[in-house]
Amino acid sequence: MNNRLDLDFGHNEIDHGTSDDYYTPPFIFEALGLHFDLDVCSPPNGAPWIPANAFLSPVEDGLATDWHGKVWMNPPYSRPAPWVEKWQNHGNGIGLVPVSKSGWYNKMWQNPEVVLIPMPVNLKFMKPSGEASQIFMPIVLIGIGEENIEAMRLSGLGRVR
């Protein structure tokens, strides 16, 4: 089985060789069937399969930039806390975050409108090279906003809480 997608990040590819250089696989977006106004944690110019009107890369600094509309968030897993807090305050979107034994995760678990535990749990992410790769931690999808929650429920991606 070929675990590679032909991705075209062009000359703007970012691969720092860290655990933060993983992108959400296309099937997640296909299952959700949503179009986002903003991807707040994107490589420059966005990943070509992420259905968003605008993208915030490390250059634009998604934490320092105002968010608008329905957001997609797959934050850097090395420092998700400030991203999740801003996402909760924004109140409209879907995020993909790691499961963690930390204060930010406990607060998030109590506050989002919905949490989806994806199946299979061994989700493979996309590297900038196009290779599919597993990460060492489990993840959950979190949703705020009626349209986002309904899309998660209908997605078939896993169990919704």
Alpha-carbon distances, residue 115 vs 39, 64, 107, 127, 152 (angstroms): 19, 26, 13, 25, 9
Window from 32-41, 91-100, 121-130 with minimum mean pLDDT: 121-130
CA distance 55 to 150: 24
pLDDT above 70 as % of the chain: 78
Domains, the chain, in order of start with CATH, read: 21-160 (3.40.50)
What is the per-residue pLDDT for 75? 93
Q: Which residue has the higher pLDDT, 38 or 114?
A: 38
The confidence score (pLDDT) of residue 112 equals 61
User: How many C-beta atoms lie closer than 10 Å to residue 97's C-beta?
Assistant: 24
pLDDT of amino acid 99: 87
Alpha-carbon span 18 to 68, nearest angstrom: 28
Q: What is the pLDDT of residues 129-142, one digit of tens each?
A: 677 667 667 888 99
Q: What is the pLDDT of residue 145?
A: 93
pLDDT at position 12 over 90: no
pLDDT per position as a tens digit, 26-46: 889 999 999 999 999 998 888
The full DSSP string for 34-75 is --EEEESS--TT--TTS-EEEE--TTT-TTTSPP-SSEEE--
| Average confidence (pLDDT) over 93-106 | 89
The pTM (predicted TM-score) of the whole model is 0.82
Instruction: Kindly state the tokens that stand for 38.
Output: 């903003």
Question: What is the rounded average pLDDT of the residues 124-129?
Answer: 68
On the question of pLDDT at 90 being above 50, the answer is: yes
- Model confidence at 85: pLDDT above 70: yes
Q: Does 53 or 18 have the greater pLDDT score?
A: 53
Most distant pair of Cα atoms in the chain: their distance:
42
Buried/exposed code over 98-130 (b: 16+ C-beta within 10 A; e: otherwise): bebeeebbeebeeebebbbebeeeebebbbbee
64 CB-near residues (< 8 Å, 6+ apart)? none
